[in-house]
């Protein structure tokens, strides 16, 4: 139950009624971040999990979870030698790593393909080709014979 007073009512109205329980937030709103379903939605936010439990829920090894903790990507606490993570922090880490498909921009007119680079003819190369095979030295026989 929220406290009532004229000052607080004005504050709640200024905040857009999001704090008062009567929110104008719309899920399809462009300014709202999409709500992703996480593997941790069935837990209370303050449920304490071990890396093994997080790994089972995500289908990865506990070592991968511990590496994320070591990199600072996943918040954790150490108690009596055990790494402990809140379910809310695990869900936040999971949604931060979500891959969102981006549609490529389609333009009506495509730029023309670039032409393939032309071979530069050098005078040395053209003179070799003009001489033909009569001016070439014979190759030694195969097999290394004398």
Q: What is the pLDDT of residues 36-56, one digit of tens each?
A: 688 898 999 999 999 999 999
CA distance 94 to 8: 36
Q: What is the pLDDT of residues 64-81, one digit of tens each?
A: 999 999 999 999 999 999
Q: Enter the pTM of the model.
A: 0.47
Q: Where are the domains of the chain?
A: 42-98
* Cβ burial 93-116 (10 Å sphere, 16+ → b, else e): bbeeeeeeeeeeeeeeeeeeeeee
In the CATH hierarchy, which top-level class contains the domain 42-98?
Answer: mainly alpha
């Amino acid at each position: 139950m929220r406290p009532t007073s004229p000052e607080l009512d004005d504050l709640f109205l200024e905040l857009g009624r999001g704090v008062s329980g009567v929110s104008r937030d719309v899920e399809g709103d462009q300014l709202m971040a999409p709500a992703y379903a996480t593997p941790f939605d069935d837990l209370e936010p303050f449920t304490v999990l071990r890396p093994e439990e997080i790994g089972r829920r995500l289908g990865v090894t506990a070592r991968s979870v511990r590496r994320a903790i070591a990199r600072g990507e996943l918040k954790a606490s150490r108690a009596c030698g055990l790494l402990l993570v809140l379910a809310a922090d695990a869900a936040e880490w999971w949604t931060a790593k979500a891959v969102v498909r981006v549609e490529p921009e389609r333009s009506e007119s495509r730029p023309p393909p670039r032409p393939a680079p032309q071979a530069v003819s050098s005078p040395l190369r053209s003179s070799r080709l003009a001489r033909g095979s009569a001016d070439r030295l014979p190759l030694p026989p195969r097999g290394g014979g004398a």
